[in-house]
Structure 1
Amino acid sequence: MSSVIDLHSHSTISDGLFTPSELVRRAAAQGVRVLALTDHDDVAGLDEARAAASEAGIALVNGVEISVTWNKRSVHIVGLRIDPAYEPLRNGLAAIRAGRGERAIRIAAELEKAGIPDSLEGAYAYAANPGIISRTHFARFLVAKGIVKDTRTVFKKYLVKGKPGYVEHSWADFADAIGWIRASGGIAVLAHPGRYDLGRTNLGSLIADFKETGGEAIEVVTGSHTADQFIQFANYASEFDLLASTGSDFHGVGESYMDLGRLPALPSGCKPVWHNWPEMSPESEVLSSELGTVSFTQHSALSTQD
């Protein structure tokens, strides 16, 4: 059964393979009725996506995925129902994007030391939006050069800690990012917590800090989580009184954990982040009952990175 709501997706404004309008059209074709565009550190695709959503007859939720630093670790916070015109948010995102450009220069220098020249220009060739240059764009360059066979392999041999091309980087302040989202009228969601490899103690500390700082929801069902993790993070949501979110984290065919419209339902007992949204009211065309129930299945994954 297709899922009608997907609250985590990416376009060419960050590191997705589809333009905002192409992404919306694919989502509609896959049965999605409520879609959040959550590009990394940029909201420039929302106007185009909203126009396409209107034409396709689906609802678009304003979103963003903010790169933050927590205890010297990189984590991501999704903002849903944000006001993209809110100036402190826009200024904060602009500062993150400037940092991305500086990091890219350092990544290229490290790859040069490893005998891989011209990677900066090569990565930018894959970045439709040069303001969002990411490790994914370097990965696509390395695959195109024949240095590795696919992006999954890139993130085993390059660009990660202890491997060529890795550099330390400090992102936005954890509390600042949550504050920008909340002050803009949005909901702060801890993105794909199962990906952070923190261990139980640190993971609990992250979720506790997130809640204490103003975070309101956690991604329970997301493309990179296993079936066991759906249950694990449903339990965390209950323990910390957090709303439950769901999103494919779709970037494009061949580079995503899960396709649009193919998410399983939230585990029973979760309070959905959309529980009081007008898009999901009985008066709207999208009804909560349409979410249905599907079995939990394992999905292979390609690792798309910030």
Structure 2
Amino acid sequence: MLYHHLMPHPLNADLHCHSTVSDGTLSPEALAERAKVRGVELWALTDHDEIGGQERAAAAAHALALPYLTGVEISVSFAGKTVHIVGLGFDPRNDMLRHGLEQTRGGRGQRAREMADQLARAGIVGAYEGALKYVGNPELISRTHFARYLVEAGVCADTNEVFRRFLTEGKPGFVPHRWASLHDAVQWIVGAGGMAVIAHPARYGFTPNEEYALFLEFKGHGGQGVEVVTGSHTAAEAQTYAAMAREFGLLASRGSDFHSPTESRLDLGALDPLPEGLTPVWEALADRVLH
């Protein structure tokens, strides 16, 4: 115990969160400040299908002496479900990545109008206009914005209830979106010099065969990492995906998936450490960290 202070300190990296540029409630600058105050030692902003906040996030992190990795969370369709792929450490000026994300965002407006039409038929009028009040970027109107409006309107007590009653498959208000393919998303990230990471894998509800196929295909396309510790994983799930990381030779990431001080399960910087015996993504991305 005498030499306990010489033990390496596990890095408090938080490599998954959202700002007002997508569906978070805080600005990139406010997130950087919150991350720093809460002890985050390496941070990434990963807005949905959008890198418009990257310059602001990097500048704010630099001003706070908070090491930063560029980030994005891309929605892909796989086995009939929406899966999220996080990109880290890429060049945000890369044309292929920028164009790919633009195409992916393109369908959200039409989808939002269809969602509003379905909600109107269920007796909830004005949902599109209501959701728009919560949107920082109209190109990125999403289910979360509708959920916030339905809470404000008194239809539901909280956003979890909105999703349960209206915005999941088979409920009035759910409209599927045709996202990018897994191949495209990984290629955009890797082509821009970044690393692709499977986000919060426990959330998708895949069968063991589907999940195995996801990991196999992801790795085959050039994907390199998986989120093991996240705001939505239990301790047991973290161990499950630590084992998957070892089996597939993937690097391990951790991120809170923080959206809002009032909505998120976990705050920035509050994650458990990675399980033993894993190689963290940030070791492979050391040369891309912005100081």
TM-score by length of 2: 0.94
Matched AA of 1:240: F
Q: Which residue of 2 aligns with 1:207?
A: 215
Aligned counterpart in structure 1 of residue 123 of structure 2, from 115, 131, 151: 115
Q: Are residue 48 (structure 1) and residue 53 (structure 2) matched? A: no
Shift of 1:60: 1.4
Q: Are residue 157 (structure 1) and residue 165 (structure 2) matched? A: yes
Aligned counterpart in structure 1 of residue 284 of structure 2, from 276, 281, 296: 276
Q: In structure 1, how many angstroms separate the alpha carbons of the residues matched to 2:262 and 2:214?
A: 31
Q: In structure 1, how many angstroms separate the alpha carbons of the residues matched to 2:254 and 2:288?
A: 14
Give the alignment of 1:1-306 within 5 angstroms: 4-278=12-286
TM-score by length of 1: 0.89
State whether residues 231 and 267 of structure 1, in contact with CA within 8 Å, keep that contact through their aligned partners in structure 2: yes
State whether residues 2 and 263 of structure 1, in contact with CA within 8 Å, keep that contact through their aligned partners in structure 2: no
Q: In structure 2, how many angstroms separate the alpha carbons of the residues matched to 1:240 and 1:64?
A: 23
Unmatched 5+ stretches in structure 1: 286-306
State whether residues 34 and 279 of structure 1, in contact with CA within 8 Å, keep that contact through their aligned partners in structure 2: no
Q: In structure 2, how many angstroms separate the alpha carbons of the residues matched to 1:280 and 1:175?
A: 23
Matched AA of 1:164: P
Kindly, what percent of the aligned residue pairs are identical? 48
Q: Report SS of the residue matched to 1:141.
A: helix
Q: In structure 2, how many angstroms separate the alpha carbons of the residues matched to 1:271 and 1:200?
A: 24
Q: In structure 1, how many angstroms separate the alpha carbons of the residues matched to 2:163 and 2:264?
A: 14
State whether residues 100 and 134 of structure 1, in contact with CA within 8 Å, keep that contact through their aligned partners in structure 2: yes
Q: CA RMSD in A?
A: 1.8
Q: In structure 2, how many angstroms separate the alpha carbons of the residues matched to 1:269 and 1:164?
A: 45
State whether residues 79 and 210 of structure 2, in contact with CA within 8 Å, keep that contact through their aligned partners in structure 1: no
State whether residues 3 and 262 of structure 1, in contact with CA within 8 Å, keep that contact through their aligned partners in structure 2: no
Shift of 1:275: 1.5
The structure where helix makes up a greater share of residues is 2
Q: In structure 2, how many angstroms separate the alpha carbons of the residues matched to 1:23 and 1:2?
A: 22
State whether residues 49 and 74 of structure 2, in contact with CA within 8 Å, keep that contact through their aligned partners in structure 1: yes
Q: In structure 1, how many angstroms separate the alpha carbons of the residues matched to 2:56 and 2:280?
A: 27
Q: In structure 1, how many angstroms separate the alpha carbons of the residues matched to 2:69 and 2:213?
A: 29
- Give aligned pairs, total: 283
Q: Report SS of the residue matched to 1:60.
A: coil
Deviations 1:81-112 (A, max 9, x none): 01111111111111111111111111111111
Q: In structure 2, how many angstroms separate the alpha carbons of the residues matched to 1:194 and 1:269?
A: 20
State whether residues 10 and 273 of structure 2, in contact with CA within 8 Å, keep that contact through their aligned partners in structure 1: no
Deviations 1:228-248 (A, max 9, x none): 001000000000111111100
Matched AA of 2:89: R
Q: Which residue of 1 aligns with 2:6?
A: none
Shift of 1:279: 7.0
Deviations 1:1-58 (A, max 9, x none): 9962111011000001100000000000001121011000000111111111111110
> Does the C-alpha gap of structure 1 residues 84 and 249 become closer, same or farther in structure 2, counting only changes over 3 Å?
same
Shift of 1:155: 1.2
Q: In structure 1, how many angstroms separate the alpha carbons of the residues matched to 2:266 and 2:74?
A: 21
Q: In structure 2, how many angstroms separate the alpha carbons of the residues matched to 1:250 and 1:113?
A: 33
